[in-house]
Amino acid sequence: MAGVVQSVQALASSLGALPPEFVRPEHERPRATTFRGASPLQIPVVDMSLPDAGSRMVEAAREWGIFQVVNHGVPADTVAELQRVGREFFALPQEEKQRYAMDPASGKTEGYGSSVQRSTGDRKIWSDNLFHAISPPAAVNHGFWPDKPRGYREANEAYCGHMRRLTGEVLERLSAGLGLEKGAMAEAFAGGDDGLVLMQKVNFYPPCPQPELVLGFAPHTDLCALTVLVANDVPGLQVSKDGHWYDVEHVPGALIVNVGDQIEILSNGRYRAALHRATVSKEKTRMSWPVFVHPRREYIVAPHPRLVAGEIPAKYDYKAKTFEDYTYCKINKLPQ
């Protein structure tokens, strides 16, 4: 089993001064770089019950790589229960959480972990997390699913069912927006809906004595195809557009959808992967629950052949790299 997990949560509860390894250089600090004032730009909110939902998603995926959805059909109590079990897991004693410790050195990326442990030479981020596969059944290892609190498994399974439906629908709309058949993305990524791998993460951002000096998550694009995220009511997610960082406003009941690297590449750049980061609060714990949609491991990372035919050259060439290798390079910050 992996060693002791040092967590940001434990650090936050015992803290005097902020340890220097968390302090960002000036140009990365959240306050100095966030767009303030009367912005004409708003991260789109798409009402999925309206007839123009598909075209609005397509437009948002082109312009921003991120949008929120309302009337998405995921019941509020299913979301509340997912959030309850996540909250209660992080409230367990450290020794209990450590039973699920991830061990990236041995290639195990699932489980409970903290950026405090990672030694990539980067500045540390102010967050801990829990991460495990939820679908399809063959990809799930229940050894990484906490058996406390009560109801953890049922809550995650119920939410997962809705995520399969919702992510399938978004992929269909985005496929159609490229002039492809509805099933084209699912087919390319995974040989159909059943092959798509869904990973659930729970991010835990404890209060920070000097939130203006740190980030809960450094700027990145998600390496997957698509992410659907729900957070608690503490804001913190920001997205970059045209050199500015914008807050993703908390819209009660909404889910946040963002395009990851694989859809940007498959679309040959028609859709953009959202560059995003997370800030933290001085008084409140922020939590978020992203679900990542992954292609199968052997998927070849490349633009869809129908989008590079004729006059249009491929903007991306990863030399027949598999999704598994792409993931390895991105996690270990190696060139692609």
Edge-to-edge strands of the sheet including 255-259?
Answer: 45-47, 66-70, 255-259, 226-231, 286-294, 197-205, 128-135, 111-114
Residue 261 binds Ni ion (CB under 5 A)? no
Contact between 134 and 216 (Cβ < 8 Å): no
Run of H or E including 159: helix 152-176
Distance CA 66, CA 237 (A): 11
Q: From the CB of 282, what's the least distance to Ni ion, in Å?
A: 23
Name the active-site residue from 222, 241, 261, 294: 222
Q: From the CB of 229, what's the least distance to ligand OGA, in Å?
A: 6
Residue 201 is among the residues annotated as catalytic for this protein: yes
User: Is the preceding omega at residue 149 within 30 degrees of 0, hence cis?
Assistant: yes
Of 288 and 327, the one with the shorter C-beta distance to ligand OGA is 288
Give the footprint of ligand OGA on this chain (CB under 6 A). 201, 203, 217, 222, 229, 231, 236-237, 276, 278, 288, 290
Of 43 and 237, the one with the shorter C-beta distance to ligand OGA is 237
- What are the tokens at 250? 């908390």
Name the active-site residue from 124, 162, 241, 276: 276
CB atoms within 10 A of CB 54: 18
Name the active-site residue from 103, 108, 182, 220: 220
Distance CA 288, CA 285 (A): 10
Q: From the CB of 237, what's the least distance to ligand OGA, in Å?
A: 4
Contact between 165 and 231 (Cβ < 8 Å): no
Q: From the CB of 205, what's the least distance to ligand OGA, in Å?
A: 7
Total number of residues binding Ni ion (CB under 5 A)?
1
Distance CA 214, CA 208 (A): 8
Q: From the CB of 290, what's the least distance to ligand OGA, in Å?
A: 5
Residue 81 binds Ni ion (CB under 5 A)? no
- What are the tokens at 197? 């791998």
Among 217, 228, 204, residue whose Cα is nearest residue 134: 228
Q: From the CB of 323, what's the least distance to ligand OGA, in Å?
A: 17
Q: Which does 203 bind (CB under 5 to 8 A by kind): ligand OGA, Ni ion, none?
A: ligand OGA
Q: Which does 231 bind (CB under 5 to 8 A by kind): Ni ion, ligand OGA, none?
A: ligand OGA
- Tokens 């936050």 — which residue? 12
- What are the tokens at 199? 């990973």
Residue choice 110, 169, 172, 222 for contact with Ni ion (CB under 5 A):
222
CA atoms in the 13 A half-sphere facing the CB of 220: 13
Q: Which does 201 bind (CB under 5 to 8 A by kind): ligand OGA, Ni ion, none?
A: ligand OGA
Q: What is the DSSP letter of 331?
A: H
Residue 222 is among the residues annotated as catalytic for this protein: yes
Of 69 and 180, the one with the shorter C-beta distance to Ni ion is 69
Of 53 and 126, the one with the shorter C-beta distance to ligand OGA is 126
Q: Which does 278 bind (CB under 5 to 8 A by kind): Ni ion, ligand OGA, none?
A: ligand OGA
Q: Which residues make up the interface to Ni ion (CB under 5 A)? A: 222
> What are the residue numbers of the active site?
201, 220, 222, 276
